Structure 1
Amino acid sequence: MLIFSIWLFTVVASTYLFKKVSGSLSLVKPNMISIVYYYSFLISSYIGGLLIALGIDDYYMIKRMDHEEYRIIGFILLTLLMILFPLTQLVVGRILGFNAELEFNKYLQEPVRTSVDKNKRIFRLAFGALSAISVLAVAYTLLKTANVPLLELLKGNTSELAKLRIDASRGFSGIDVYIRNIFGIALTPVLSIVAFVYMTKSRALYWKVVFFTLFISSILISTYDLAKSPIFFYLIMLLLAGVYTQKLKLNWKRISGYIIAGSALLIVMYVAIQGVTELESFLAYNSGPIGRILLAQISPFFLHLDTFSHSLSPLEAKGLPSFIAGIFDIEQVRSARMVMENVFPENIDKGTGGVLNTIFLGEAFASYGYLGVIVAIIYIAAVIQVLYIIFLRLPKTPVVIALFVYFTINIPRTLVGGVADFFFNPIWIIMTVVLGGLFILEQYFHVIWKFLLSKVRKKGVTQ
């Protein structure tokens, strides 16, 4: 009863704090902070954490845990996360003079600024070139995948789908990884969002054709390896773009329809991909889709605590991003892979073991213990709040909206993936640089071009 009382009090207090720092926790006004709260923390972490702390999870991963005391220790750390994270954001917001509710509502009502007339031609050329590169990257990814899981499923070859999915996700190396991850997986959906916003604003045939091409490519790259979450996140990106451009007005009727449609799609994917047909598997809280949402994401956190307290030594510098670790001539090691190898070695031997991703606290603990957990909470909370404030204050153009939507979806996903990506994330940096370049072409190219011409003319006169 004490554990549940602590959990309930924490949820109430955390909800209040997250509302203060986000401006809105309403489902009809989704934003970066509210998605972090609902998806990364409450649903994917804290509800499952309660079940594990109470000892009523009956989940296969937790049964591999050797020391039961980490049920309570893990729950305490999650409780700390739920309070310290928004408190840090509140402090950051106060320092920067941020009024969350006022600025978020103003952003929603602000009209979209499309490209300046003088820049339209050069912007379309640059955007078309990037789109072509992204579509080719998607095609390259499919061609370089020996057995595309999606095609094998459509052919009816379902006997080794689990192994094929691992091979598809881990079978790339060298330059192929960058082509797939940057231009295929990351850039294609974001460019489709830019095209979507322009299409809704201009109705021009160019944007309709480009959006359709990028949309199909985004669907393919999101589903080719039969991962279930990417397609849902991509559709949510489109939904957010519709909300931020005022082309879509959410209400509870529409949200209910989306939830029903999403649930139906998820069930179809579970039946087709994993062969789950028993009704009880879909209704049970510790198996099927519900168990995947409530327990599969948070259970590895408790395994991290157990593993790196007793079985494995702390990663320390080896847990840093590869770029930083390389400076010290150390090879980066991801804790999620090490926990999989330690807890489920039989899956590694069969070739079906990937990684046990979990809330970022797991990787922080694996590297620097309890101190690492506290530092990671404060640091990541501050970074996310600063990003949120920046995006709400930037000009509301299609390119900026697309980048905002990208981070709104990818930050919550990264929070349940690891802590290293928040210290140095090359894909985030590249995406920011590429979209930043498009933003300059979209709004300020004519100014820069005029300035450069004046400099050349002035230099010619002086000579």
Structure 2
Amino acid sequence: MISIIYYYSFLISSYIGGLLIALGIDDYYMIKRMDHEEYRIIGFVLLTILMILFPLTQLVVGRLFGFNAPLEFERYLHEPVRTSVDKNKKIFQLAFSALAAISILAVAYTLLKTHSVPIFELLKGNTEDLAKMRIDAARGFNGNVYIRNIFGIALTPILSIIAYVYAIQTREFLWKTLFFMLFISSVLITTYDLAKSPIFFYVIMLILARVYSKSLVLNWKKISGYLIAGTVLLVVMYIAIQGVTEVESFLAYNTGPIGRIILAQISPFFLHIDTFSHSISLLEAKGLPSFIIGFFDMEQVRSGRMMMENVFPENVDKGTGGVLNTIFLGEAFATYGYFGVIAAIIYVAAIIQIIYMLFMRLRKTPVVIALFVYFTINIPRTLVGGVSDFLFNPIWVMTTVVLAGLYILEQYFMVIWSFLMSKVMKKRVKA
């Protein structure tokens, strides 16, 4: 979790591109929309503070809780996986199967309530207006967004990981069947809108699940093979989805896949600083989660959408402009300026470190592994979104509650049930 955050979300996706922007050699279309050149340096300074203060905060929090990361991670890797207790087995399987059915139905519901499913249109050969269809799939969904986001998008891949670990550990037909159905559903829900990153992150979740369940030992040869396969798949997706065929587009640092990785996610951060320093007033309380400001009859405003409307209004008018998401510092600055940036770094670093320590010390079961893998992948993705998602994230809360219930069924249901029954019997005897 920590390595993916620091080396992918921060170093590769943010700092390298930030350095190119600070040096003025990015030649990137988004940065050309920036009005004040001094924010190239100011933005890079803030990113440098992030690279130093973030791990420093995590180190301090770890020391406060007596956490030795290398030793505890090594212990966690070699700890055996504990499947469901025999007394809980049937109840857990029944509950899991019911939840899996709900998630699979949620995926079908999502596809049915989406007017034009981009992945199906692509397979039918309809490659016109794919960009608009992708926006429509996300913003023009006609169903209940909670069913789609929680049970379809979030829960289905997690349940597939649980079934996968159980299939590896028990080799039972039930778990293999459940995994197959959930795997197909997960692939559909991660690719239906033609977003390229979700399918890669799902594959990484499967790999991490194998590592944590001790069925896969990574080495440089295997890692290199995964990287080559991922690169080939990414190139194929760019050719099929965006029609990119020129070799120069794949090799240039400011276009194609490379530009997407090192510049596309960090450029809006510099635009945030520029725009909210001059053109738009700071959001202040309006930038906080709707769960919090709803008590004060205020409506949440996401800076990413405001940036798209301000910087690329022509795309919004054409229906191809969604949001300009960037590293969480962008929304932090849009909310409370430079103070918000420093406070957000310390707060988010502490929250992530606490989550990491908690998983390292929980009993290692398929449910816990799946939730750990989910946060390992989704926290880095959420970092490129907004700081308000770390203040209150309804999808994380609901997912955790559901899986906590599964964890109780998996390990402690009969113990709790016996305890409650003993209390009831004692009251009856006294009566």
Q: Distance in 2 between matches of 1:155 and 1:401?
A: 38
- AA paired with 2:57? T
1:437 maps to which of 367, 380, 405: 405
The question of 1:276 aligning with 2:244 is answered yes
The question of 1:191 aligning with 2:159 is answered yes
Q: Deviations over 1:20-40 (max 9, x none)?
A: xxxxxxxxxxxx100001111
Q: Distance in 1 between matches of 2:37 and 2:147?
A: 44
The TM-score with structure 1 as length reference comes to 0.92
- AA paired with 1:276? V
- AA paired with 2:23? L
The TM-score with structure 2 as length reference comes to 0.99
Q: 1:369 deviation in Å?
A: 0.1
- AA paired with 1:414? T
Q: Deviations over 1:103-135 (max 9, x none)?
A: 010000100011100000000011001000000
Q: Distance in 1 between matches of 2:296 and 2:265?
A: 32
After superposing on structure 2, the runs of 4+ consecutive aligned residues of structure 1 that deviate more than 6 Å are none
In the TM superposition, what are the counterparts of 1:137-216 in structure 2 within 5 Å? 137-172=106-141, 176-216=144-184
State the partner residue of 2:268. Answer: 300
State the partner residue of 2:14. Answer: 45
Q: Deviations over 1:251-299 (max 9, x none)?
A: 1111111111101100111001000000000000000000000000000
Q: 1:348 deviation in Å?
A: 0.2
The question of 1:357 aligning with 2:325 is answered yes
Q: Distance in 2 between matches of 1:226 and 1:78?
A: 30
- AA paired with 1:164? M
The question of 1:123 aligning with 2:121 is answered no
Alignment size in residue pairs = 431
SS at match of 1:301: helix
**Gapped runs of 5+ residues in structure 2?**
none
Q: 1:176 deviation in Å?
A: 1.1
In the TM superposition, what are the counterparts of 1:408-447 in structure 2 within 5 Å? 408-447=376-415
Q: Distance in 1 between matches of 2:420 and 2:291?
A: 36
- AA paired with 1:215? F
Aligned residues of 2:328 and 2:387 also touching (Cα < 8 A): yes
- AA paired with 2:172? A
Aligned residues of 2:26 and 2:254 also touching (Cα < 8 A): yes
Report the identity percentage.
79
Q: Distance in 1 between matches of 2:325 and 2:293?
A: 20
Q: Deviations over 1:310-349 (max 9, x none)?
A: 1111000110011112111110010000000000000000
State the partner residue of 2:29. Answer: 60
Q: Distance in 2 between matches of 1:325 and 1:290?
A: 39
The question of 1:133 aligning with 2:102 is answered yes
SS at match of 2:82: coil
Q: Distance in 2 between matches of 1:96 and 1:168?
A: 44
The question of 1:328 aligning with 2:274 is answered no
**Gapped runs of 5+ residues in structure 1?**
1-31
Q: Deviations over 1:408-457 (max 9, x none)?
A: 00000001111000000011011111110100000000101111211222
SS at match of 2:144: helix
1:86 maps to which of 33, 55, 62: 55
State the partner residue of 1:390. Answer: 358
Q: Distance in 1 between matches of 2:262 and 2:314?
A: 24
2:43 maps to which of 74, 90, 95: 74
The question of 1:246 aligning with 2:195 is answered no
Aligned residues of 2:211 and 2:218 also touching (Cα < 8 A): yes
The question of 1:372 aligning with 2:357 is answered no
Aligned residues of 2:304 and 2:331 also touching (Cα < 8 A): yes
Q: Distance in 2 between matches of 1:70 and 1:370?
A: 13
1:256 maps to which of 224, 228, 247: 224
Q: 1:180 deviation in Å?
A: 0.4
Q: 1:172 deviation in Å?
A: 2.6
Q: 1:460 deviation in Å?
A: 2.0
Q: 1:461 deviation in Å?
A: 1.8
State the partner residue of 2:367. Answer: 399
Aligned residues of 2:115 and 2:141 also touching (Cα < 8 A): no
- AA paired with 1:117? D
Q: 1:137 deviation in Å?
A: 0.1
Q: Deviations over 1:370-420 (max 9, x none)?
A: 000000000000000011000000000000000000000000000111100
Q: 1:459 deviation in Å?
A: 2.1
The question of 1:381 aligning with 2:357 is answered no
- AA paired with 2:19? L
State the partner residue of 2:311. Answer: 343
SS at match of 1:353: coil
Q: Distance in 2 between matches of 1:298 and 1:274?
A: 21
State the partner residue of 1:10. Answer: none
